[in-house]
Amino acid sequence: MAAVPLEVADDPCVVLMSATGLVARVAVGASEDLAERALVPPPADAARAAHDVIVAAVRATVRGTVGLVTSAGRLLKLNVLELPAMPPGAGAVSLAGGTPVTEFASFDRGETVVGLAAVNGPAGGGSDGSGGSDGSGGGLVGGLAGGGLALGTAEGVVKRVLPDYPQNRDEFELITLKPGDRVVGAVQLSGESDELVFITSDAQLLRFAASSVRPQGRAAGGMAGVRLASGASVVWFGAADAGAASGTPSGPPGSYSPAVVVTVAGSASALPGTGAASVKVTPLHEYPGKGRATGGVRCHRFLKGEDMLVMAWAGPAPAVAATDTGTPVQLPDPVGKRDGSGIALSRQIAVLGGSARVV
């Protein structure tokens, strides 16, 4: 009788987090080509499922480690083997069988997980130290060593963190925040060609090259990312592949997906969970790039009863939305007018993100 190996193979995988706070790992092909393009756009007619709104993904290995980045600017290490394994498939991935991220670490009151980071391997990259892009248009799977980890805060600060992560600590700070500030987004970059995107509460969008942000050590406080008007704050921060942001096809055939922007307008005086009034989806290439530390360009025109963006997202199409219980909500088709008004919502949206399938 042949011996049964007890050790779990350290196979490549992708760690995913849904907008509803569920995390899981999905196996990817063992070949280098498949690992490089782990996430690709789902078929146009792919059916929606509960908890299929993906907001963060990072390549890893089954016996490796990833980091949970929180709104307090902390990184908490997470063993990938502890995550439930989800099967890849022909359709869009769903994390309905995932585990709430709150079960893996202790968080302070009001602290939330805003992204995932690669922490293994040389220079804090992946377990194999490789870089490159996934070809999906950016925004979901970041590189391993790549361009490092980028953070954006509510007060418009941006930081690229030098991956000098301590190997003997399970948690540590990634940024020194000013009193009252918080991290609103964290993304593992695939390389210097990525573009960073800020979207503000007063409907301003700013995109600029990640290469314009000098990497800093963990104790640094970052630098000016977007110039905010009085009373405004950042509602979303992330990244997009430069080709996807400009609408230029890139990556292997079948893997390219242009970047889009989703903006949801509402009223600051509305009760929690009822503030969303209208939604708009627009190609990201409609918004011209500008320099870091400048103001953005208008990305949504407010209608009567609207005075702010209550949520936003940018990344590879198709963009998807759901309720707070993960039930899918249909978004309108993309429109070309970058500063147009939105379409009235017939159902409240609680979360926004991307959709993809794992190969």
pLDDT per residue as tens digits for the range 4-31: 555 889 999 999 999 999 999 999 875 5
Helix (H, G, I), strand (E, B) or coil at 251: coil
- Per-residue pLDDT of 317-330, as tens digits, reads 999 999 999 999 99
- Per-residue pLDDT of 192-235, as tens digits, reads 889 999 999 999 999 999 999 999 999 999 999 999 999 999 99
CATH classification code of 12-358: 2.120.10.90
- Per-residue pLDDT of 233-273, as tens digits, reads 999 999 998 777 777 655 555 556 789 999 999 998 877 66
End-to-end Cα separation, the chain, in angstroms: 34
Write the DSSP assignment of 113-158 as a string of letters.
EEEEEE-SSGGG--TT------SS-SSSEE-SSTTEEEEEETTSEE
Predicted pLDDT of residue 269: 84
Contact 91, 46 (CB under 8 A): yes
Write the DSSP assignment of 291-359 as a string of letters.
-TTB--EE-----TT--EEEEEEEEESPEEEE-TT--EEPPPPP-S-TT---EEPSS---EEEE--EE-
Closest CA to 113 of 58, 53, 72: 72
Beta bridge partners of 77: 67
Q: Using CA atoms in the order 20, 23, 26, 30, what is the torsion angle rounded to 10 degrees?
A: 130
Contact 244, 258 (CB under 8 A): yes
Predicted pLDDT of residue 140: 56
Rounded CA-CA distance 186/318 in Å is 21
Predicted pLDDT of residue 126: 37
Chain CA centroid to CA 217, Å: 22
Rounded CA-CA distance 169/302 in Å is 47
* Entry pTM: 0.90
- Token readout for 291 is 């320099």
Grade residue 1 by pLDDT with cuts at 50, 70 and 90: low
Q: Which residues of 240-278 are buried (b: 16+ CB within 10 A; e: fewer)?
A: bbbbbbbeeebbeeebbbbbbbbbbbbbeebeeeebbbb
What is the chain's length?
359
